Amino acid sequence: MSQAPELIVDPHVNATGELRSVHKPVPHDSAERHVAGTALYVDDVFEPAGCLHVAVGGSPSAAGRIARLDLERVRAAPGVVAVATAADIPGHNDISPIGAGDDPILAGDEVVFHGQPLFIVIARDRLSARRAVGLAAIEIEETAPLLTAEAAADANAMVSPDFDIVRGDAAAGIAAAPRRLSGKLMIGGQEHFYLEGQAALAVPEEGGDMYVLTSTQHPSEVQKAVAEMLRQPLSTVTAEVRRMGGGFGGKESQAGQWAVLAALGARITGKPCKLRLDRDDDMIMTGKRHDFATFWKVGFDDEGTLLALELDFLARCGHSADLSVGVVDRTVFHADNAYYLKDIAARSRRLRTNTVSNTAFRGFGGPQGILAIEHVIDQVAHALGQDPFDVRMRNLYGPGRDVTPYGMEVFDNIAPEVMASVAERSGYRARRQEIARFNNENAFLKKGIAITPVKFGISFTTTHLNQAGALVHVYSDGSIHLNHGGTEMGQGLYVKVAQVVADEFGVDVAYVKITATTTAKVPNTSPTAASSGTDLNAMAARLAAAQIRTRLTAFAAEILEGPPEDVRFRDNHVILGNRSMPFAELVNKAYYARISLSSTGFYKTPKIHWDRETARGRPFFYFAYGAACSEVTIDTLTGELRVDRVDIVHDVGKSLNPAIDIGQIEGGFVQGMGWLTTEELVWDERGRLRTHAPSTYKIPTSSDVPAEFHVHLFDCENREGAIYGSKAVGEPPLMLAISVHSAIFDAIAGMARPEAPIPLRAPATPEAILNAIDAVRGDAVQEAYR
């Protein structure tokens, strides 16, 4: 039977009655090191003596049978120590994160996507390994690849069964509605483009043990993958990560393969082995955000109230399930965004294609669901000739209409207030008029403006993942060693947890030593994902610290001679009445008195439950909200886009660290802008990714950051018992960028007749913008230009 963790702390209140670090803009613990270049990533750590280097050989075809894999010339190449294929894997040749058995480490007989790893080369240096890869003689008996979601849907090729969330009778609702619209929205994928690519260093230890330094959001999964590949118990493998140079979901499940291949090299050669993917290989060989073909049908009335909605999400999952079950579930969970829909059918298909296996990416499928309904609302507002902001406000969740299609009450709904706040701060109404004037006066440049909301569910929808552990030591000099299961990828998790632990002991953050995440200290951890890293790990660490503090409290009462309930830890001291003692001195005395100064902590999210069979429950502990107003200018002759001004009001509850949170909001927004405007993935007819380098794949740069960019934290405590009234912040802000897509829609809609739907896909690249303009105005603009 599972035992409920004893909550010896109040999630909202600190025992000292004073918070010195929590809620303060404490700098990221590694900020200076990031800037100075002294923060160590996998590839920066001193290589152990005799370290070898691994390069990966990939499939030249997207689909077929391996007829010949001749590695003689590879083996004979200069510097090469060994080569390995699937046949050399001692244990399990699969790293599927859900145990689906469809993610081979190295392909056996069959290849399923272009670039799929077939073999590794282990050489004395990285360049020799990479050069040798090119000498392989590979013949594939090719079969016709399935490349798009729609083609896979026609072929009924799936990675897992369909999943729908349905309430009422959407089809009947649409048929009976006074007005109807339907259409198709293509939603592009996204490359993670973490600055530090996939990397791992495997060091063989005595007795067959294996140590792996890895760049992963999920050390416990890397540990498991390596152990299963080696056919060894988990206890013989240690996975460690100090930090990632970004993960964004791309290192949730997909860091495992590279760690496993480094460990395979280490096992075969008996030497330390490092594998760092080249950027092109990284882009070709690792999965991305899922792209979707989305079909929508909506019924509404003349006022713009949505009466019924049908959405069919066809997700391109790639060749395997990976995390697609959860990712696409989150798409349908978020197909309502912040809107009440009495009759809705949100249906989803997880389609198997001969492309790289798509995976987690900031928002985990949620952004695609939210984009779909926001696009539908844009079309409805356009058809009615109404201000889209009014249509949105009219359809938000509210009293008497506050239950989601999956039966969860939107108990903490602040969407109307957040929307109103951003409308006011941005001066939306006045600016809409100015924009109308501008558009009247300018033939070729057109402006658009839009406000869109975000409501994002916080918790893993896989309920068992909502748990975390921590380990805290206090050394005899009063310094504190902090460890937990969460990983640092730049999002500021480590410093937030350190703030919480410092306040538990009433000491400065400087007392707390942040240490690398390792499976040897905290076992069986969940990935740092679903934005829940702080909610989970800060509570676990706080509980660990609170246990030590409880012991120290009893001891302080003894030596300072007073009642334990009067003992306070503050200002780096322990205080009792008018007596006090430095924290370090108390700890030192406690050591001599033989008091344990180390503790673990464990936390699991309360209240959540989810029944996927009936698609009903409370999958989320709470929702995080936000809204953004974006203004854009498009050049109708070139399709060029500029984002002129962005105003954001975002809900992080009572912020644990406003500096970090504002950074997350700005970064998330710009990353979302990239997804929706410039980042375009192109595969050719043979299933080869043509955009596998920054020369052809355009991520936003500093010059794309809106010239005017205002971020405001909505002042509101989390009503649920999350740590100190805060809310998760990692993913939700990405979806604020949907306002940019809507603003582009708005600019184009201004040129169109109401009966012409606007076929604006995502990403809204210059080509996509021009195509949409062509569709609504005929070729007039193009003609004028020629």
Longest dimension (CA), the chain: 91
All residues at 6 or more sequence positions from 93 whose CB lies less than 8 Å from its CB, including other chains: 86, 104, 105, 106, 108, 229
Q: Write down the least CB distance from residue 732 to ligand MOS, Å.
A: 11
Q: Residue written as tokens 């003609």?
A: 783
Question: Hey, what are 663's tokens?
Answer: 């950074």
Nearer to ligand MOS, 119 or 364 (CB): 364
- Determine contact, residues 180/297, Cβ cutoff 8 Å: yes
- Does the protein bind ligand MTE through residue 531 (CB under 6 A)? yes
- Does the protein bind ligand MTE through residue 532 (CB under 6 A)? yes
Residue type, 676: L
Q: Which of 252, 631, 661, 720 binds ligand MOS (CB under 6 A)?
A: 252
- Does the protein bind ligand MOS through residue 529 (CB under 6 A)? yes
Q: Which of 59, 483, 528, 633 binds ligand MTE (CB under 6 A)?
A: 528
- Does the protein bind ligand MTE through residue 529 (CB under 6 A)? yes
DSSP letters along 707-749, please?
A: SEEEEEE-----SS--GGGB---SSGGGGGGHHHHHHHHHHHH
Interacting span for ligand MOS (CB under 6 A) from 59-67, 355-363, 656-664, 717-725: 355-363
C-alpha dihedral sign at 143, 148, 151, 154: positive
Q: Write down the least CB distance from residue 186 to ligand MTE, Å.
A: 23
Q: Classify residue 653 by its DSSP letter.
A: B
Provide the edge-to-edge strand list for the sheet that holds 137-142.
110-111, 64-70, 137-142
Report what 655 binds from ligand MOS, ligand MTE, none; CB cut-off 5-8 Å by kind: none
- Does the protein bind ligand MTE through residue 247 (CB under 6 A)? yes
Nearer to ligand MOS, 60 or 663 (CB): 663
Q: What is the SS3 assignment for 1-30?
A: CCCCCCCCCECCECCCCCCCCCCCCCCCCC
Nearer to ligand MTE, 325 or 458 (CB): 458
- Does the protein bind ligand MOS through residue 89 (CB under 6 A)? no
Interacting span for ligand MOS (CB under 6 A) from 58-66, 124-132, 358-366, 472-480: 358-366
- Determine contact, residues 263/280, Cβ cutoff 8 Å: no
Q: Write down the least CB distance from residue 543 to ligand MOS, Å.
A: 23
Interacting span for ligand MTE (CB under 6 A) from 240-248, 308-316, 319-327, 389-397: 240-248
What Å distances lie between residue 660 and 41, 491, 656, 719, 729, CA to CA?
21, 7, 9, 21, 9
Nearer to ligand MOS, 238 or 528 (CB): 528
Q: Nearest to residue 536, comparing CAs of 624, 605, 608? A: 605
Between helices 415-426 and 428-441, what is the axis angle to 10°? 50
Nearer to ligand MTE, 61 or 368 (CB): 368
Element (H, E) at 123: strand 117-123
Q: Residue written as tokens 């207030």?
A: 417
Nearer to ligand MTE, 27 or 270 (CB): 27
CA distance 574 to 478: 12
- Does the protein bind ligand MTE through residue 367 (CB under 6 A)? no
Interacting span for ligand MTE (CB under 6 A) from 90-98, 241-249, 710-718, 777-785: 241-249
Question: Hey, what are 177's tokens?
Answer: 């509605």
Nearer to ligand MOS, 366 or 453 (CB): 366
Is residue 504 part of the annotated active site? The answer reads: no
What Å distances lie between residue 121 and 45, 53, 331, 529, CA to CA?
22, 8, 39, 32
Nearer to ligand MOS, 306 or 323 (CB): 323
- Does the protein bind ligand MTE through residue 525 (CB under 6 A)? no
C-alpha dihedral sign at 577, 582, 584, 588: negative
- Does the protein bind ligand MOS through residue 364 (CB under 6 A)? yes
- Does the protein bind ligand MOS through residue 360 (CB under 6 A)? yes
Report what 493 binds from ligand MOS, ligand MTE, none; CB cut-off 5-8 Å by kind: ligand MTE
Q: Which of residues 693-732 bind ligand MTE (CB under 6 A)?
A: 728, 730-731
Interacting span for ligand MOS (CB under 6 A) from 259-267, 356-364, 432-440, 568-576: 356-364
Interacting span for ligand MOS (CB under 6 A) from 357-365, 370-378, 596-604, 689-697: 357-365
Count of chain residues binding ligand MOS (CB under 6 A): 10
Report what 339 binds from ligand MTE, ligand MOS, none; CB cut-off 5-8 Å by kind: none
CA distance 486 to 236: 21
Q: Write down the least CB distance from residue 781 to ligand MOS, Å.
A: 39
- The beta strands (E) that lie in 511-636 are given as 512-514, 517-518, 568-570, 573-576, 579-582, 598-604, 609-611, 616-618, 622-635
The active-site residue, picked from 196, 228, 488, 731, is 731
CA-atom Rg of the chain in angstroms: 27
- The beta strands (E) that lie in 475-588 are given as 480-484, 512-514, 517-518, 568-570, 573-576, 579-582
Nearer to ligand MOS, 310 or 731 (CB): 731
Bridge partners (DSSP) listed for residue 708 = 645
Q: Write down the least CB distance from residue 252 to ligand MOS, Å.
A: 5
Residue type, 513: K
Nearer to ligand MTE, 360 or 627 (CB): 360
Nearer to ligand MTE, 357 or 379 (CB): 357
Bridge partners (DSSP) listed for residue 111 = 64
CA distance 120 to 54: 6
Q: Write down the least CB distance from residue 366 to ligand MOS, Å.
A: 9
Q: Which of residues 675-734 bind ligand MOS (CB under 6 A)?
A: 731
Report what 522 binds from ligand MTE, ligand MOS, none; CB cut-off 5-8 Å by kind: none
Q: Residue written as tokens 């595969």?
A: 683
Q: Nearest to residue 708, comparing CAs of 449, 426, 444? A: 426
All residues at 6 or more sequence positions from 770 whose CB lies less than 8 Å from its CB, including other chains: 638, 639, 782
- Does the protein bind ligand MTE through residue 534 (CB under 6 A)? yes
- Does the protein bind ligand MOS through residue 322 (CB under 6 A)? no
Element (H, E) at 484: strand 480-484
Nearer to ligand MTE, 428 or 494 (CB): 494
Q: Which of 485, 533, 672, 725 binds ligand MTE (CB under 6 A)?
A: 533
Q: Which of residues 730-759 bind ligand MOS (CB under 6 A)?
A: 731
C-beta atoms surrounding 437 within 10 Å: 11
Nearest to ligand MOS by Cβ — which residue? 249
Question: Hey, what are 607's tokens?
Answer: 């209240």
DSSP letters along 405-424, please?
A: TTS-B-TT--HHHHHHHHHH
- Does the protein bind ligand MTE through residue 289 (CB under 6 A)? no
- Does the protein bind ligand MTE through residue 362 (CB under 6 A)? yes
Q: Which of 217, 331, 348, 499 binds ligand MOS (CB under 6 A)?
A: 217
For strands 568-570 and 573-576, give the pairing: antiparallel
First to last CA, the chain: 75
Q: Write down the least CB distance from residue 759 to ligand MTE, Å.
A: 30
- Does the protein bind ligand MTE through residue 493 (CB under 6 A)? yes
Q: Which residues are catalytic?
A: 731
Residues at the interface with ligand MTE (CB under 6 A): 246-249, 362, 489-491, 493, 528-534, 664, 667, 728, 730-731
Residues at the interface with ligand MOS (CB under 6 A): 217, 249, 252, 360-362, 364, 529-530, 731
